[in-house]
């Protein structure tokens, strides 16, 4: 994500940390801009013994996916949700 060392230290203190700027996603191999976001380490809701990084209250993975969808929409690419293949003509 290319957070600064100081920002990483603050996040590891388990406190919400506000930041702005560009953060990098290895999944999408690009940086995304944020005017203001909050990063925090929280317990996973489904697995009590595991932690996860959240940005603006959602997992970092979902935050990047949302930013990528916003980027695609900005450049005119509308991705349709996947349709259930089992929904046919009632056969």
Q: State residue 91's pLDDT score.
A: 43
First to last CA, the chain: 48
Our CA dihedral for 64, 68, 71, 73, rounded to 10 degrees, sits at -130
Q: How far apart are CA 37 and CA 19, in angstroms?
A: 6
10-43 per-position pLDDT tens digit: 888 988 999 999 999 999 999 999 999 999 999 8
Confidence band for 82, pLDDT divided at 50, 70 and 90:
low
- What is the model's pTM? 0.74
Q: State residue 18's pLDDT score.
A: 93
46-71 per-position pLDDT tens digit: 888 899 999 999 999 999 999 999 98
CB 11 within 8 A of CB 53: yes
């Amino acid at each position: 994500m290319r957070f600064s060392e100081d920002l990483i230290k603050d996040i590891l203190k388990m406190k919400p940390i506000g930041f702005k700027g560009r953060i990098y996603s290895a999944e999408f191999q690009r940086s995304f801009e944020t005017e203001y976001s909050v990063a925090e380490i929280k317990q996973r809701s489904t697995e009590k013994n595991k932690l996860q990084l959240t940005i603006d209250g959602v997992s970092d993975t979902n935050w990047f996916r949302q930013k990528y969808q916003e980027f695609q929409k900005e450049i005119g690419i509308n991705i349709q949700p996947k349709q259930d293949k089992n929904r046919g003509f009632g056969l």
